[in-house]
Amino acid sequence: MTYLYTDAFAISDEFATPGGTFVYVAGLTTKADGAQSAVRWTVNVQTGVVSELLVLTKEWGAGVNIDGEVACTGSSGRRQDATLFDNGVCIALKPPKGATDAATCGLVGTKSPIIYVVGVAQVSGSRAVLWEVK
């Protein structure tokens, strides 16, 4: 697969494995046909080598934590939808009542006990949103 360009939007804290010290990086990649996909890279801190590229079903990743969970946003038509990518599963993050759509901006926390995802929703203009995912 050939990508024209990539953008990185977020980086996790460092985590250690027997193979070294790593970080996750979240962002987007754009293919030659203009299609965008959210991505998560696994990067070795000592060598700078990218050991894994995970392409997600949404259009961009705005936050990532040490568990590899990614706050993503996609669009369908003119609406944006916020999701949390968690170990192969996309969890829909519903916009607040009265909002037309929502997008993620970042996240903090790990699988236990709560992940906090921040973003923005359209409710008579932009409004900050905080989702708690358990």
From first to last of its 134 residues, the chain has per-residue pLDDT tens of 567 788 999 999 999 999 899 999 999 999 888 888 999 999 999 999 998 889 888 899 999 999 999 999 998 778 899 999 988 888 999 999 999 899 999 998 776 788 999 999 988 888 999 999 98
Please give the model's pTM, rounded to 2 decimal places. 0.90
Cα-based torsion angle of the residue sequence 94, 95, 101, 103 in order, rounded to the nearest 10 degrees:
-80
The per-residue pLDDT for 1 is 57
